[in-house]
């Protein structure tokens, strides 16, 4: 391979690596945000489940927290709440 071809190849490899890293960082940040949002929603739902002054229905908790009804039911079962 000529020097010019080798330089082009190296530039291509370096650009590919750079793009892969940027894409990975972007996807990692997006995933981190989703995980954080899910944790906040679960915490809010658990707080509502434990509220003694007002008994919220599963549907109300799902609506307020943004979790699905199934996830609220799972959360309730995990914490063995009546």
Q: Count structural domains, the chain.
A: 1
Transcribe the chain into DSSP letters. Answer: --HHHHHHHHHHHHHHHHHHHHHHHHHHHHHHHHHHHHHHHHHHHHHHHH-SSS---HHHHHHHH---HHHHHHHHHHTT--
Instruction: Note the pLDDT tens digit of each residue in 14-68.
Output: 999 999 999 999 999 999 999 999 999 999 999 898 888 888 999 999 999 999 9
| Domain housing 42 | 3-78
Q: State pTM to two decimals.
A: 0.65
Instruction: Note the pLDDT tens digit of each residue in 65-78.
Output: 999 999 999 988 98
């Amino acid at each position: 391979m000529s020097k010019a071809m080798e330089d082009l190849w190296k530039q291509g490899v370096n650009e590919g690596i750079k793009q892969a890293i940027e894409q990975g960082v972007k996807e990692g940040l997006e995933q981190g945000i989703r995980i954080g949002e899910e944790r906040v929603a679960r915490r809010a739902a658990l707080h509502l489940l434990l509220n003694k002054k007002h008994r919220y229905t599963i549907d109300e908790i799902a609506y307020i927290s943004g979790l699905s009804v199934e996830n609220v039911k799972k959360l309730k079962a995990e914490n063995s709440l009546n």
